[in-house]
Copies of this chain bind each other. A is one copy, B any other.
Amino acid sequence: MIVDNALYRNGERVDLGCSPGDLAAVRTGATKEHDFVWVGLHDPTSEELDHVAQLYGLHELAVEDALSAHQRPKVERYGDSLFIVLKTLWYVDEDDAVETGEISLFVGHGFIVSVRHGTGASLSQARQRLEASSKVLVHGPSAVVYAVVDDVVDRYESVAGSLQEDVDEVEESVFSTERTNDSARIYVLKRELAEMRRAVLPLREPMNRFAVGTVGGIHAEAAPYFRDVADHLTRVAETIDTLDSLLSSAFDAHLAQISIQQNDDMRRISAAVGLVAAPTLVAGIYGMNFDHMPELHWMYGYPMALGLMLLSSLTVFVISKRSGWL
């Protein structure tokens, strides 16, 4: 689907009087030197993408990559144009789950084509914000690249924040006095962190190159802004590493808690067994059939026996309590 398709001149959107779907018309509208077109596609069909590819001369390998959403993040140069793949991430509160999408950018002289896959991480806000600030937009495709990457990385930080909260919850659950089975939760969080890492890490190296300002097609003046993005990426990557290692520690602690609980249970059970075994022995004694057992003939022998049983149980109880077994 073609989401939007517009010509920008001197930092302003130009109304060409044709529908965004008329790709060729917008293309030919770019006649002045610093004009550029931003074509925005969402889950395009093979035909739509091929049409755009022909119009703007995109490389077949890049087009193939942009069509499906299973690429790894990368920045590749084809001749004098750049091909950028970004993973988008968003957190779905209902499922405590991280979902992923993909954005591909074709950046060439006088045009930028964005191809988005997945339901989340829409680019329309980024476009609106850009169109509202002609001072930035005047820098051409570089500005669009920055706006998109900044938007994507901001989402990473927000997802990292949500996962941080999840880890805090797990932590609390592990060290609560209740019996909890946190291993499944920890496993899922670890898997999500692994997925996130695969989105974030490959992007660091190209962003650092953008930050140095030596990548053709990216304005050198935009360097500090990309350095800011690279810095955010590093922060996200550090958070991921920290959370992952905290989860490992939490899992270890969880194992220890299970062992300690088993220990506690075992001792509690043993004490309970003692509570019954002691009076049972007493009952066994007075169930013996000796001719000469004076207690049997006492008037209060029976209550005495019951008392003895109680006393034996009580002794076990007190000892257990004192040694912390009950």
Taking the nearest CB of chain B, how far is it from the CB of A51, in angstroms? Answer: 22
Q: Is B234 within 8 A of A72, CB to CB?
A: yes
- Knowing A254-B256, A256-B183, A265-B267, say if A246 contacts B276 (CB, 8 Å): no
Contact of A263 among B258, B299, B305, B324 (CB under 8 A): B258
A175-200 residues with Cβ-Cβ distance < 8 A to B are 175, 179, 181, 183-184, 186-187, 190-191, 194-195, 198
A277's contact among B184, B190, B276, B305, by CB below 8 Å, is which?
Answer: B276
List residues of chain B with CB within 8 A of the CB of A324.
Answer: 179
How far apart are the CA atoms of A79 and B23 in the complex, in Å?
Answer: 42
Contact A246 B194 (CB under 8 A): yes
Q: Which residues of B contact A17 (CB under 8 A)?
A: none
Q: A272 to B285: give the CA distance in the assembly, Å.
A: 18
**A18 at the B interface (CB under 8 A):** no
User: B277 contacts A274, CB within 8 Å?
Assistant: no
What is the CA–CA distance of A265 and B268 in the complex, to the nearest angstrom?
Answer: 11
Closest Cβ of chain B: how far from A237's Cβ, in Å? 10
Assembly of this chain: how many copies? 5
Chain A residues numbered 226-285 whose CB sits less than 8 Å from any CB in chain B: 227-228, 231, 234-235, 238, 242, 245-246, 249-263, 265-267, 269-270, 272-274, 276-281, 283-285
- Contacting pair A242 B198 (CB below 8 A): yes
A265 to B269 alpha-carbon distance, docked (Å): 12
- Assuming the contacts A228-B61, A254-B256, asked whether A290 and B281 have C-beta atoms less than 8 A apart, the reply is no
Known contacts A183-B252, A305-B288; decide if A265 and B262 are in contact (CB<8 Å).
Answer: no
User: Using Cβ atoms and an 8 Å threshold, which residues of chain B touch A96?
Assistant: none
Q: Give the total of A residues in contact with B, Cβ under 8 Å.
A: 83
Within 8 A of B (CB), among A278-323: 278-281, 283-293, 295-302, 305-306, 309
Q: Is the CB of B284 within 8 A of A280?
A: yes
Residues of chain B with a CB closer than 8 A to A48's CB: none
How far does the alpha carbon of A228 sit from the alpha carbon of B66 in the complex, in Å? 13
A-B contacts, 8 listed (Cβ < 8 Å): A71-B235, A76-B227, A258-B263, A265-B266, A269-B270, A276-B281, A279-B285, A291-B301
**A-to-B contact residues, CB < 8 Å:** 59, 61, 71-72, 74, 76, 78, 171, 175, 179, 181, 183-184, 186-187, 190-191, 194-195, 198, 224-225, 227-228, 231, 234-235, 238, 242, 245-246, 249-263, 265-267, 269-270, 272-274, 276-281, 283-293, 295-302, 305-306, 309, 324
Further contacts, 19 of them, CB under 8 A, given A190-B246, A287-B287: A74-B231, A181-B257, A181-B260, A184-B253, A186-B249, A186-B253, A187-B249, A191-B249, A198-B238, A254-B256, A255-B259, A258-B260, A261-B263, A262-B266, A265-B270, A270-B273, A277-B280, A283-B287, A290-B295
